[in-house]
Amino acid sequence: MDQTEAQRRYFDSHAASYDEYTAAGAWTPNQYLAGVLESLTAGGVEVRTALDLGTGTGQTLAAVRAAFPQATLWASDLSPAMLRRAALKVPDARFEVADISSHVAGLTESFDLVTAIGCLEMVPDLMTVLPQLMDHVNPGGHLALTIEPLIDGAGAEHAAHPHSSADTDEPRWRYTWSTARLLHALPGGQLRSSHLFTAYHRASRPVLYELLLIGKG
């Protein structure tokens, strides 16, 4: 079984319990995202079209909908079971079952806002995907992304960690990137804000995320 199929099966099998598992502060990124989206609305930024990658059960998509009630929303995820739950939260979004790499490679629309929360660390060819994604952000548009940042890698720019069955049952690899490397892969992107925070706990240890808001032109 390849990595994408293993991830699909993992998230399909956890779709029913995901919202309960992430409730009560156990999954914090969308709270931070809501603050970032608020800063956009406070700054008068208009979002008419938005794309959410790695939508899951729709927690991120619901935050985008709350911030931009009039926007047309697109959403994709490799797990059909997760997306079925997202469709209950934000029924008027346009949903597509796809892995991020092939979805981005096949994009025909462009967006004022792209969100990708809690998923890019599972994309092995992220440095190829990001420049393609940037081509589909409108001038004046924004990307709001989380990564598992590489902050203690002693000069390494990229690291892949096979999951350890002793730690967790998650059948996936995680890829960490330095912020500088990520920004380098987003030509024309300007860093507007960065938040470093504990996103959740894995095997009782805190997992650090960086939430980046990047503006285009």
Ligand X SMILES: C[S@@+](CC[C@H](N)C(=O)[O-])C[C@H]1O[C@@H](n2cnc3c(N)ncnc32)[C@H](O)[C@@H]1O
Residues at the interface with ligand X (CB under 6 A): 7, 11, 29-30, 54-56, 59-60, 77-79, 82, 99-100, 117-119, 122-123
Query: Least distance from C-beta 175 to ligand X, angstroms?
Result: 10
Q: Which is nearer to ligand X, 11 or 95 (CB)?
A: 11
CB contact at 8 A, 93 and 68: no
Q: Which is nearer to ligand X, 7 or 178 (CB)?
A: 7
Query: Least distance from C-beta 56 to ligand X, angstroms?
Result: 3
Q: Which is nearer to ligand X, 172 or 184 (CB)?
A: 172
Query: Least distance from C-beta 72 to ligand X, angstroms?
Result: 19
Q: Which is nearer to ligand X, 122 or 137 (CB)?
A: 122
The DSSP output letter for 200 is E
Residue 111 to residue 188: CA distance in whole angstroms? 15
Q: Indicate the helix (H) or strand (E) that contains 113.
A: strand 111-116
Look-up of token digits 């293993």 = 6
Q: Which is nearer to ligand X, 54 or 215 (CB)?
A: 54
Q: Which is nearer to ligand X, 40 or 90 (CB)?
A: 90
Residue 179 to residue 185: CA distance in whole angstroms? 10
Residues 6+ apart with CB under 8 A from 164: none
Q: Which has the closest alpha carbon to 178: 148, 204, 203?
A: 148
Between CA 45 and CA 52, with CA 46 as vertex, the angle to 5 degrees is 100
The DSSP output letter for 60 is H
Residues written for the chain:
217
Query: Least distance from C-beta 59 to ligand X, angstroms?
Result: 4
Phi and psi of 164, rounded to 5°? Answer: -110, 125
Query: Least distance from C-beta 22 to ligand X, angstroms?
Result: 6
Q: Which residue is nearest to ligand X (CB)?
A: 56
Phi and psi of 154, rounded to 5°? Answer: 50, 50
Query: Least distance from C-beta 46 to ligand X, angstroms?
Result: 23
